[in-house]
């Protein structure tokens, strides 16, 4: 089964981090695309709102020869329209839908969602356990229940779908505004969604504090372990700070 990806890129809100904001000196959208094209065998289609005119330029500058990369600009498009335009370009059996603000997703997470769909699921989503206590409240803000964390998971990206399943979701849904809304729509229609293991570093970079966290994780990736440093003949302190 062939596999491709769609990355819808909407204009950021006033409090959102731009998809071209640098993480470790590299625009966030570049990290998102690189992670996908290093794993997937098919095309990667970035669909942007026409108001986000800096994304095509940034990708052209950083990934001028990326195999299979297509950038499509759509006027006044919502998330549903962006995904539909991406599918019109793709002809793959499996489609991974990724958020433009998840630049540090490990390759193994991408592989897990794809393999779950190849193994028979209609769709697959990476998840991590919820560690905070979650309360249910009523319309007046009063706490009415504590939800069991053991049964709760946080959805990450990318989400992988059989192409025909995702097309059916788009045709049958009026609104897919939020991230992972296509997963919720599929579940409402009775589709089979498989959860697979996510990763701590696959979080969405939405606010300034997320940028700080992403920078710290990236610096940790770039710093060799003591054993790696010894084997390579590097100084005991590693190469911290070197880009």
pLDDT tens for 8-34 read 998 776 668 899 999 999 999 999 999
Q: Please give the backbone phi and psi of residue 17, each rounded to the nearest 5 degrees, phi first.
A: -80, 135
Q: How far apart are CA 164 and CA 178, in angstroms?
A: 21
* Percentage of the chain lying above the pLDDT 70 cut: 88
Q: What distances in angstroms separate CA 95 from CA 58, 210, 239, one per listed residue?
A: 24, 27, 38
Residue scoring higher pLDDT (231 or 24): 24
Q: How far apart are CA 110 and CA 35, in angstroms?
A: 8
pLDDT tens sequence across 42-54: 899 999 887 677 8
Q: How far apart are the first and last CA of the chain?
A: 37
Q: What's the chain's Rg over C-alpha atoms? A: 19
**Would you call 44 helix, strand, or coil by DSSP?**
strand
pLDDT tens sequence across 139-193: 999 999 999 888 899 999 999 999 999 999 988 887 777 778 889 889 888 889 9
Which of 137, 111, 92 shows the shortest CA–CA distance to 2? 92
Q: How far apart are CA 49 and CA 71, in angstroms?
A: 11
Report if pTM > 0.95.
Answer: no
Q: How far apart are CA 217 and CA 201, in angstroms?
A: 7
Are 72 and 86 spatial neighbours (Cβ–Cβ below 8 Å)?
A: yes
* Percentage of the chain lying above the pLDDT 90 cut: 62
Sign of CA dihedral 219, 62, 5, 211: positive
Q: What distances in angstroms separate CA 171 from CA 82, 106, 163, one per listed residue?
A: 13, 31, 12
Q: What are the structural domains, with CATH classification, of the chain?
A: 3-126+154-206 (3.90.550.10)
- Locate 73 and state its tokens: 């600009």
Average pLDDT of the residues in 194-210: 95
pLDDT exceeds 60 at position 199 = yes
């Amino acid at each position: 089964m062939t596999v491709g990806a769609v990355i819808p890129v909407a204009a950021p809100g006033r409090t959102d981090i731009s998809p071209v904001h640098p993480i470790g000196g590299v625009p966030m959208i570049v990290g998102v695309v690189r992670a996908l094209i290093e794993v997937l065998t098919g095309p990667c289609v970035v669909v942007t709102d026409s108001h986000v005119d800096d994304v095509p330029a940034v990708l052209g500058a950083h990934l001028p020869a990326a195999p299979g990369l297509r950038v499509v600009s759509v006027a006044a498009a919502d998330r549903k329209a962006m995904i539909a335009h991406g599918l019109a370009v793709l002809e793959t059996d499996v489609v991974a839908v990724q958020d433009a603000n998840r630049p540090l997703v490990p390759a193994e997470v991408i592989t897990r969602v794809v393999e779950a769909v190849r193994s028979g699921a209609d769709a697959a989503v990476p998840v991590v356990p919820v560690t905070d206590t979650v309360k249910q409240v009523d319309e007046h803000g009063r706490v009415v229940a504590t939800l069991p964390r053991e049964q709760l998971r946080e959805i990450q990206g990318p989400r992988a779908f059989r192409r025909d399943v995702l097309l059916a979701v788009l045709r049958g849904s009026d609104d897919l505004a939020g991230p992972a809304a296509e997963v919720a729509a599929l579940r409402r229609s009775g589709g089979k969604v498989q959860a697979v293991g996510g990763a701590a570093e696959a979080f969405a970079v939405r606010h300034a504090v997320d940028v700080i966290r992403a920078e710290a994780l990236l610096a940790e990736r770039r710093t060799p372990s003591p054993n790696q440093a010894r084997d390579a003949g590097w100084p005991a302190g590693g190469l911290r700070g070197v880009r």
